[in-house]
Amino acid sequence: MKNLTRMWLAGCLLGSFATSAFADDDSPVSDEPAGQYGVLRDVQGPAGMFSARILLDINLSKDAAGKPISIAPDLYYGVSEKLQLGLLHTDPTGWQSRPGVGLCLTGKDGGCPKVYDNIGFDVLYALGAGNFPISAHGSLFIDSFDPTTTHLALGIAGKAHFNDHVALLFDPKLAIALDSRDTNKDALYVPLELEFQLKPPTILKLLTGISGTTSGFGDTYQIPLGLGLLQNLNRRFDLGARFSFDNLLGKQPADVGRADLRSFAILLNVRS
């Protein structure tokens, strides 16, 4: 009952957060087209746009290559110029999610305890546009169905445009555990992407950030480091790939080397 109550309260909070967005709907998030100049894009899409981010994620860690492999589709819809709703299968780090979320394809012997065991619900509300677009960001993550573990993640998402060719995307959030708090801990996530527009269709991304449980953060923090390449194909499609050392600069568990945890992902962005 307590778990259901917490989930109901979280749903009410996200719902009120979303519906309040209809009160002020004067200006678009961005006038930039969803075309070749990806660095100029904002953190959310314009009204009426349906978009999907589909991630094929492959574990390349030491002694566990290909275990697991997973597909995580994230779906988004621009309800208004300021409000975007989403259905998530990645974790709070987005494109930097490690293999295993969404549809896990390689079976129990291949690192997948279950085929499908997580989902999330996402709300973005634009607070400002221009060279420094920023949005309030709330997400309800159901990390596992059985046993049920959930987090309510609250934070901001923004993008600092240094010029037409360089931008920093940031999405810090505090994930509050809603159940099983003896084992399911609050956590901080700060994914970062430094974007370079190499030429109109091509973006190079330096991927990093920091995450960890708020209790014992010094013993649990993780800092990945990776490179991503995103190629715009046309107005509707982008294709990309990334390679990451998943905890190159963070706290290392015993007997785990800094470069032991690795992953590779292929990304497909689709827009209406």
How confident is the model over 21-27, as a mean pLDDT? 47
> How far apart, in whole angstroms, are the C-alpha atoms of residue 79 and residue 73?
19
Residue range 35-82, pLDDT digits in tens: 678 898 889 989 999 999 999 999 999 999 999 999 999 999 999 999
> How far apart, in whole angstroms, are the C-alpha atoms of residue 191 and residue 137?
13
Residue with tokens 């079976």: 107
pLDDT score recorded for residue 33: 54
Structural domains in the chain (count): 1
> How far apart, in whole angstroms, are the C-alpha atoms of residue 168 and residue 193?
6
Burial of residue 160, with CB atoms counted within 10 A of its CB: 0-12 exposed, 13-18 middle, 19 or more buried: middle
> How far apart, in whole angstroms, are the C-alpha atoms of residue 266 and residue 263?
10
Residues spanned by the domain of 138: 2-271
pTM summary value: 0.88
Radius of gyration of the chain (CA): 18
Task: Examine residue 172 and say whether the peptide bond preceding it is cis (omega within 30 degrees of 0).
Answer: no
pLDDT score recorded for residue 35: 60
Residue 270: strand, helix, or coil: strand
Count how many Cα atoms sit within 13 Å of the Cα of residue 89 in the half-sphere of its side chain: 21
Residue with tokens 């990334």: 242
CATH no. for residue 168? 2.40.160.40
Residue range 199-234, pLDDT digits in tens: 989 999 999 999 999 999 999 999 999 999 999 999
C-alpha angle with apex 71: 186 to 177, nearest 5 degrees?
10
Q: Which of 159, 155, 154 is nearest to 129 (CA)?
A: 159
pLDDT score recorded for residue 82: 94
Helix residue ranges per DSSP H, the chain: 2-19, 217-220
Q: What is the mean pLDDT of the chain?
A: 89
Q: Which two tokens stand for residue 55?
A: 């991630």
pLDDT score recorded for residue 14: 52
The pLDDT confidence band at residue 26, using thresholds 50, 70 and 90, is very low
pLDDT score recorded for residue 129: 83
Task: Answer yes or no: is pLDDT of 29 > 80.
Answer: no
Yes or no: say if 74 and 95 are a contact pair by the CB < 8 Å rule: no
How confident is the model over 121-135, as a mean pLDDT? 93
